[in-house]
Amino acid sequence: MLTFEAAFPEQYDDCVKLMMDEAGDYLRGTLKLMQISVDEFNHLLRTVGRLYAIYDDKQMAGFYWIEEREKVLHLHALLLKKHFQGKGIGTQTLNMLASKYKGRLTTIELGVHESNEAAIRMYERNGFSTVRQLEDLKFRIMQKDLSSADALATGKDN
């Protein structure tokens, strides 16, 4: 069973390490293009929005980082340790967020690097579509509408 808990202060460094392990190939380049140092990124993670840890039967599986801005939930990061990938945890986490915020917020928005085809496939399968491309960063911005009747009826685990 999946559970989600606000991250402890000492888990923030684990999250940055996991990000660098799982997405470092483009994350370093993206931060450079955005002129954000790793220290500044660490600071953003601690001060913007909220970071949650994802547990699969009490084992720490990964993290998600969210921020509410007006009616939009920005999903700044969703990442799982290797061993926990490909088991439907990403899909279940997105479904949990959709059901938690539906009614209060209208949209979930995220940015994903063009090279991350598996993640893009998973987001598309879960009702996200591309709303714009950031050509210089090679990122696409994807959104899921939470106001439609089928907002919760997507993804494998439903």
CB of 138 to ligand COA, least distance (A): 13
- The CB-of-110 to ligand COA minimum distance in angstroms stands at 6
Which DSSP symbol is given to 105?
B
80 phi, psi to nearest 5 deg = -125, 150
CA angle 56, 60, 62 (to 5 degrees): 95
Which phi and psi (to 5°) does residue 111 adopt? -120, 135
Site for ligand COA in 26-55 (CB under 6 A): none
- CA 31 and chain centroid, separation: 17
> Which span (52-60, 87-95, 98-106, 131-139) binds ligand COA, by CB under 6 A?
87-95
119 lies in the binding site for ligand COA (CB under 6 A) = yes
**Based on CB atoms, which residue is closest to ligand COA, 78 or 108?**
78
